[in-house]
Structure 1
Amino acid sequence: MAVKGAVLGDILGSQYEFNRPKKLDWKNVPLINTTAMGFTDDTVMMMAIKKAIIEEADLVDTMVEVGRKYPHCGYGCRFFVWINGKVHRPYNSWGNGSAMRVAFVGEYYDDYNEMQEMAKKTAEVSHNHPEGIKGAVVTATCIWMAKHGKSKQEIYDYVAQEYPKSKYEYSIEYSLDEIRPRYKWNESCQGSVPAAIRCFYESTDYESFIRNIYSLKCDSDTFGAIAGGVAEEFFHGFGNVDAEGVLESYLDDYLLAILKR
């Protein structure tokens, strides 16, 4: 399940979102730090979208319903207002929030066009800037490609087409070795999606994917949420990572019930 990989990526990445040591030994540091990890708004909104799709419910109503249950899970300022206000209009955002919540779409829909259309819909309710929509569509498409047996090179080629290095500072065309010295924490889709997928592209299993994220001074929980579903689908699981143990330990009963549906 791609959505499991995305939620796990959120949880494992959360410990370094704002508290990454300057000289983190990312190749050897334990993946699980019980004092610093937890689910974030990424997981909450992923579960909201999954709930809406499965129940054929209104997307905005469900996002608001689920989102209000977790007022302190890390929403950005404008999205916090969107969740808690009386009016829920899109606000032209290009933030990576549209990409971090879309994993279930890439997993659920077999039809390519239907998947892309739904990915667009999940973005444009709030993140209706072209880059916000693109981030969601590209993320869902990469998950769909991995699920349908596409190669790493095919996934790479698709992302490179969408985020060419001639236009994007953190294009997937740049290696992690090239990105690490200059990457700065970035909450935009254009600064997150191609770099997160590069973390997958250079990985050999789910654990090495997570460690690639740790190697960057990035929005690490959201990187995990964006590309965690791609990694899970491509590698057909989590290898030696105790995914079920982490999910059972860190999700509450409400979110875990949605995840298991």
Structure 2
Amino acid sequence: MAVKGAVLGDILGSQYEFDRPKNLDWKNVPLISDFPLGFTDDTVMTLAIKKAIVEGADLVETMVEIGRKYPYCGYGGRFFGWINEDDHSPYNSWGNGSAMRTSFIGEHYDDYEEMQRMAEKAAAVSHNHPEGIKGAVVTSTCIWMARHGKSKQEIYDYVLEQYPKEEYEYSIAYSLDEIRPRYKWNESCQGSVPAAMRCFYESTDYESFMRNIFSLECDSDTFGAIAGGVAEEFYGGFGNVDAEGILKKYLDEELLRILNY
């Protein structure tokens, strides 16, 4: 269930989004540290999109309805306005918010073209810049590929095609060892999606995927939400990570209900 992988990635990643220690022992640190953690806007919008799709409801109306219930969950400034003001027009954003909310789309749709169309639609309601749309489509497609038995190499090749080394600073072509010394916190789709997918590519299970995220000074909750669904689908679960316990502990009743639809 990719959406659980994304929500779990958001929760676990949230502890280091802004307060990651410089000398973090990312290979050995407990998955849950003493730093504050919990769900963020990534989870709220992921589940809003799931609710809209499952119920056949209007996408924008549902995102606004659910989003307004959680006003302090970490929205970016422009998206906060999109949620809370009367004008819900798209604003040409390339931010990674379009990619972090599409995991259910890759999980839900069996038809490849329908999945990609829905990912584009879910992005374009706010993030209608080409890079914002690409980020959402690539994220959903990687989840779809993992769910349909594609190999890790096939997923890598697809992401590389979308984010070639010659054009993107953090292309999936770069190893994490190459990225770590030069990565700077980045809220764009183009600076987040390929690097998050590299964290998946170099992983061996869900836990090692999260530890790869911890190794970067990045928008870690959003990295978790973007590629967490890919990791969960590809590995067929969470291994030794107590996903159900963590989700029950950190989600409120309404969000947990939508998650378990």
- Is 1:228 aligned to 2:228, yes or no? yes
Q: Please give the root-mean-square deviation of Cα atoms over the aligned residues, in Å.
A: 0.5
1:136 equivalent in structure 2: 136
| Aligned partner letter, 1:129 | H
1:65 equivalent in structure 2: 65
In the aligned structure 2, how far is the partner of 1:35 from the partner of 1:222? 17
Give how far 1:28 is off: 0.3
In the aligned structure 2, how far is the partner of 1:196 from the partner of 1:109? 22
- 5 Å-filtered alignment, 1:1-261, equals 1-33=1-33, 35-261=35-261
In the aligned structure 2, how far is the partner of 1:194 from the partner of 1:30? 26
Comparing 31-40 with 114-123, which one deviates more in the overlay? 31-40
| Aligned partner letter, 1:91 | Y
Give how far 1:56 is off: 0.4
Per-residue deviation, residues 76-127 of structure 1 (Å, max 9, x unmatched): 0000000000010000000000000000000000000000000000000000
| Aligned partner letter, 1:230 | V
| Aligned partner letter, 2:147 | K
| Aligned partner letter, 1:53 | I
Give how far 1:33 is off: 2.6
Q: TM-score, normalised by structure 2?
A: 0.99
| Aligned partner letter, 2:60 | V
| Aligned partner letter, 1:161 | E
Give how far 1:35 is off: 4.8
Name the SS of the counterpart of 1:134 in structure 2.
helix
Give how far 1:7 is off: 0.2
In the aligned structure 2, how far is the partner of 1:72 from the partner of 1:39? 11
In the aligned structure 2, how far is the partner of 1:154 from the partner of 1:226? 18
Give how far 1:36 is off: 1.1
| Aligned partner letter, 1:75 | Y
In the aligned structure 2, how far is the partner of 1:122 from the partner of 1:19? 30
Name the SS of the counterpart of 2:203 in structure 1.
coil
Q: Which runs of 4+ in 1 moved over 3 A?
A: none
Name the SS of the counterpart of 2:118 in structure 1.
helix
Q: TM-score, normalised by structure 1?
A: 0.99
